[in-house]
Each structure stands twice: as C-alpha cells, then as structure tokens.
C-alpha cells in the first residue's frame, strides 16, 4: 500500500518530533502493510530543501523496513496564491495535496484551483470529510467532474474526528467522491493497525475492487503520473 499523506518526517511540523519517533512509525507502517510513503509535511517557506535533506537521512532506515520514501508536501489553501511553483507528491508528477482549512469553497478558491490546473498541476484535496458536509455535495461533485481528487483519512472511518465526520466520509464514498484513503499520520498511533482495519472495513462495505483501487491502484497511478 502507498500512503500518500503522512507527517512521518521528523522535526519539521506537528508530526513526528524526532528521528527515533520516525523510525518507530516506519516499523509500525511496515506491520500495517505500507510499502511506500509520500512524506507530506505542512508547507512553510524553505521547506523543500529541509524535506530533501531529512528524507536522505531517513531513507536507509526506511529500506530496512522495506518502505520506499517519496517527497511531498501539504499546502494550506492560503499558501497557493503565494507560490510560483508547487512541491508535488512523489516529485515526478504534477499532483499536489491541498488542505482547504475552511469549511466552505468560494469562487475565489475555485478560480485559484483552476488557475493551478491550467499550469498542469493536478489537485488532491486532503480530508474534505473533515471540513465539508452534505450541503456541499453539489460543489464537491463539480470539483470531481473538474478532475479534482479527494483523499479521505483512514482515521475518519474509525471515528477519530467524531461521528459527523465518520458519517460524511461514508457519504462521500457512496457518492463516488473518494479517490484515495491515507493515514495523515502524525504519530505512532496512526499506524498501529489503523490502515489494515480501515482496509478491512472498506472492503467489507464497498467491495474488494474498490478497496484495492483506493489503497493500491490509484496511488500507484498517481505516483506514475498516469491517473
Ligand atoms: Fe496532513
């Protein structure tokens, strides 16, 4: 499984706070069946160099757990208007991960997303189930029709963010508005069995083909730039 959203990189944001903690997370991720992780710390100025430097230090440790690491980033929506280019997920494609941060989608926001699309970028919205509700389904459907992708959090299905988020995550799947499920791991607890139990839940309720698509095929195609 390729985990496309993880804060496993150490001492860079509110995720892993130390090299040792990142190693413990890698060990747990391997047990969870994770084979690749896109490290996606929260964006801040100058972060690209720091990500590269820290990934290189962590890569040999990850190899011991048979995990391949890729660079990435999670942008707050407000950062998008201030950049000339964006850090992509995996480096070799044009996918970018964006957290809207606000519980509504304005016309200004839509125009900004479409502007980045016109430059060849492909937008993945991080955990929309945590921000939006069923009144937003029409606009979310419009976004999906405009080739914007949605990544839901595994934790949403076990109720980490409350019952309302859990219910809306399931609604998004039923409406065809889920392209990826990732850990959004900030600490060890987000790998300790969370992904296997989420996969089991998704397979049981939505079928094994869908489960394979979401956890295996779509991330693989995305990394290869072929989604
Ligand atoms: Fe995140």
Mind listing the domains of the chain with CATH numbers? 2-223 (3.20.20.140)
Distance 40 CA to ligand 1 centre (A): 7
Find out whether 105 and 77 touch, Cβ atoms under 8 Å: no
Distance 162 CA to ligand 1 centre (A): 17
Q: What are all long-range contacts of 79-83, with beta carbons under 8 Å and residues at least 24 apart?
A: 79/43, 80/112, 80/113, 80/116, 81/112
Please name the residues in contact with 61: beta carbons below 8 A apart, sequence gap of 6 or more.
Answer: 22, 23, 26
Q: Which of 166, 118, 167, 110 is nearest to 138 (CA)?
A: 110
How many CA atoms, within 13 angstroms, populate the side-chain half-sphere of residue 196? Answer: 11
Distance 138 CA to ligand 1 centre (A): 25
Q: What is the pLDDT of residue 91?
A: 73
Find out whether 220 and 2 touch, Cβ atoms under 8 Å: yes
Distance 112 CA to ligand 1 centre (A): 21
For residue 218, the tally of other CB atoms under 10 A from its CB is 20
Run of H or E including 68: strand 68-71
Distance 137 CA to ligand 1 centre (A): 22
Distance 205 CA to ligand 1 centre (A): 25
Distance 33 CA to ligand 1 centre (A): 20
Distance 126 CA to ligand 1 centre (A): 7
Give per-residue pLDDT as tens, 141-160: 999 999 999 999 999 999 99
Distance 97 CA to ligand 1 centre (A): 9
Distance 182 CA to ligand 1 centre (A): 10
Distance 207 CA to ligand 1 centre (A): 27
Q: What are phi and psi of 36, to 5 degrees?
A: -145, 145
What parts of the chain have a pLDDT lower than 70?
Answer: none
Distance 141 CA to ligand 1 centre (A): 22
Please name the residues in contact with 106: beta carbons below 8 A apart, sequence gap of 6 or more.
Answer: none
What's the rounded Cα separation, in Å, for the pair 68 and 192?
Answer: 19
Q: What are phi and psi of 153, to 5 degrees?
A: -90, 135
Q: What is the pLDDT of residue 165?
A: 98
Q: What is the pLDDT of residue 108?
A: 87
What's the rounded Cα separation, in Å, for the pair 197 and 147?
Answer: 29
Q: pTM for this one?
A: 0.96
Distance 199 CA to ligand 1 centre (A): 19
């Amino acid at each position: 499984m390729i985990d496309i959203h993880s804060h496993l990189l150490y001492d860079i944001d509110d995720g892993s706070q130390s090299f040792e903690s990142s190693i413990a997370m890698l060990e747990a991720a391997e047990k969870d069946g994770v084979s690749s992780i896109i490290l996606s710390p929260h964006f801040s100025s100058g972060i690209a160099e720091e990500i590269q430097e820290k990934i290189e230090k962590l890569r040999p440790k990850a190899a011991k757990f048979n995990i391949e690491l890729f660079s990435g980033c999670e942008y707050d929506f407000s950062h998008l208007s201030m950049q000339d280019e964006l850090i992509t997920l995996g480096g070799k494609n044009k996918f970018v991960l964006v957290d809207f941060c606000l519980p509504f989608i304005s016309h200004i926001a839509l125009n900004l997303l479409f502007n980045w699309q016109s430059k060849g970028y492909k937008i993945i919205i991080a955990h929309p189930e945590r921000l939006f509700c069923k009144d937003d389904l029409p606009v979310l459907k419009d976004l999906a029709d405009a080739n914007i992708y949605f990544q839901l959090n595994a934790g949403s299905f076990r109720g980490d963010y409350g019952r309302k988020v859990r219910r809306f995550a399931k609604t998004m799947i039923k409406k065809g508005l889920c392209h990826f499920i990732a850990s959004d791991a900030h600490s060890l607890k987000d790998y300790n069995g969370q992904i296997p139990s989420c996969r089991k839940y998704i397979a049981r309720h939505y079928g094994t083909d869908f489960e394979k698509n979401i956890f295996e095929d779509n991330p693989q195609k995305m990394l290869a730039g072929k989604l």
